[in-house]
Structure 1
Amino acid sequence: MSTLFLALAAGAVVGLALGALGGGGAVLAVPALIYVLGFTPAAATTASLVIVAATAATGLYAHTRDGNVRWGTGVLFASAGLVPAALGGAVAGRLPPALLTGAFGILAALAAARMLRTPPEVVQADRSVRRGRAAATGAALGAVTGVLGVGGGFLAVPALVTTLRLRMRTAVGTSLLVITVNALAALATRTGAADALDWSVIAPFTGAAILGAWDGRRLSGKVKADTLRRIFARVLLAVAGLMLIGSLV
């Protein structure tokens, strides 16, 4: 099977996840880049930032038109994570590959478990957001983004839903703002690493992901919020298992 076809197929899945679920793009992109397209863990985390930043920005535009973005909360959340994301990006290249993949898997599993434990009534209506809580959560997410090369959506969505009490669809749209800002901040610290990437793979991967994000956004308007939350959590659990196994072999 050709590398181009694999890149297009993986990109479409990543875009669909980002558009429909507001996250899961990098948590799917990193394993695909490593296990399907042959990238090293360090190169995969850098490439995923490029892919996710471009795709999330596209999805953000679509969700903004639908009124699903809480700009005040999103800007505060993302701004608090800028410095931690940059610092984390500078540290990431010095960490062992097995540690990166293992930490990735553990965080994905924890986020999925929290999403599955959240009772449906908690996510039915947006509530007022405490600025201090939003900033603290955003800073923690930024650090994770920088170290693991993720946009942060697979953690941002659970945080926005369970900690900041946003509706699932509002959390999806707002998380795309957070993902875009965090991914760009982390990528800025990896400019040297980006020069060595295989753009013949990354370009079609990104293009397919952007197209998939539009389909994902339409899907999110047709599926119940609680169903989206459970789908997201189960995808995270599956990927977490794959990454944890990969860190041990």
Structure 2
Amino acid sequence: MTALILALVAGAVVGLTLGALGGGGSVLAVPALVYLLGFTPAAATTASLVIVTATSLTALYTHARAGQVRWKAGAAFAAAGMLPAAAAGAAAVHVPQALLTVAFAATAALSALAMLRPAATARRASGDVPPGRAAAAGAGLGTLTGLLGVGGGFLAVPALVTVLAFEMEAAVGTSLLVITVNSVASLATRSGAAASLDWTVIGPFAGTAVLGAWDGKRMAAKVTGPRMQRIFAGVLLVVAAFMLADALT
């Protein structure tokens, strides 16, 4: 019963975060599965992909209905990152985990600081982004995501805001497209591992995450773009600090 309650609460938090901020699913889900629900790191990573895929699809639908997804640029961004992510993931096994964690924390912190700069308030409302620029940014993100293991959403939103000059609302919606594509691609390589997961925990976790995504979208609609951007940057700094402390202890 305790595990069920923890799964329900953790799922709600993950769903709210993804629905409102367009990222943070894996960063929050993996620690919850490991430290609260007793999953091994390998099982937690696979279970997180299942949960994040279902939740991101739901959140993507709600943002698409509101016209906050830039499909053309988002598709180019996501597609360009798939091969670099696979190549970087293969290389990551040869790099010490602590070094990867520190690198992710530094990248997250720099992304947050870039979003807090006054220059980052300029936005591209139309989403008319050159495909080459979107593809280059997506390839860079894919490399980081594959190398560091997590961070698709948390790094996609800052990239869309600071590199492609998206307004925050469109960055959140479009990042969900990127997360969905990356999660499905990653999950496809782990289909065998998914069969052995504890679905009595994952099912309730994913269920409340999906419901939380709807509430997260409604919460985001009540917050202005600049304020949401500051909130996102603050959460990103907290995540970076936590991961840095974990790597150094």
Same fold by TM (over 0.5)? yes
Tell me the equivalent position of 1:59. 59
Tell me how many residue pairs correspond in the alignment.
249
Whether 1:178 and 2:175 are equivalent positions in the alignment is: no
Aligned pairs for 1:84-233 (under 5 A) are 84-90=84-90, 97-119=97-119, 121-123=121-123, 125-126=125-126, 128-150=128-150, 152-233=152-233
Query: Which residue of the partner structure matches residue 234 of structure 2?
Result: 234
User: What amino acid sits opposite 1:25 in the alignment?
Assistant: G
* Cα distance in 2 for residues equivalent to 1:107 and 1:72: 26
Cα distance in 2 between the residues matched to 1:105 and 1:29: 17
String of CA shifts for 1:159-185, please: whole Å, max 9, x gaps: 111110111111111111111001111
Name 1:43's counterpart in structure 2.
Answer: 43
Alignment partners' CA distance in 1, 2:89 and 2:198: 20
Distance (Å, rounded) in 1 between the aligned partners of 2:199 and 2:115: 35
Structure 1: runs of 5 or more not aligned: none
For 1:18, the aligned partner's letter is L
CA contact (8 A) 1:126 1:165 kept: no
Superposition deviation, residue 199 in structure 1:
2.7
Structure 2 distance, partners of 1:95, 1:164, is 30
Query: Which whole-Å CA distance do the structure 2 matches of 1:50 and 1:189 have between them?
Result: 12
Which one-letter code corresponds to 1:54 in the other structure? A
Q: Following TM superposition, by how much is the alpha carbon of 1:64 offset from its aligned partner in structure 2, in angstroms?
A: 1.0
Alpha-carbon shift at residue 118 of structure 1 (Å): 4.9
Equivalent-residue separation in structure 2 for 1:92 and 1:45 (angstroms): 15
Distance in 1 separating the partners of 2:190 and 2:94: 12
Q: Which amino acid aligns with 1:172?
A: V
Please identify, of 171-180 and 135-144, the stretch whose mean Cα deviation from structure 2 is larger.
135-144
**Greater displacement, 105-114 / 160-169:** 105-114
Matched AA of 2:180: T
Matched position secondary structure for 1:123: coil
Which residue in 2 is equivalent to 1:83? Answer: 83
How big is each residue's C-alpha offset from its partner over 1:162-220, in whole Å with a ceiling of 9 and x where there is no partner?
11011111111111111100111122223344344333322221111111000011111
List per-residue Cα deviations over 1:115-163 (Å, max 9, x = no partner). Answer: 2225463137345312222101111222333344436111111111111
CA-atom RMSD in angstroms: 2.4
Identity of aligned residues (%): 64
Cα distance 1:186–1:106, how it changes in 2: closer, same or farther (>3 A)? Answer: farther
Report the Cα offset of residue 30 of structure 1.
2.4
Distance of 1:244 and 1:13 partners within structure 2: 22
Is the 1:3–1:201 Cα contact (8 Å) retained in structure 2?
Answer: yes
- Compare 199-208 and 185-194 and name the one that shifted more: 185-194
Distance in structure 2 (CA, Å) of the matches to 1:120 and 1:138: 19
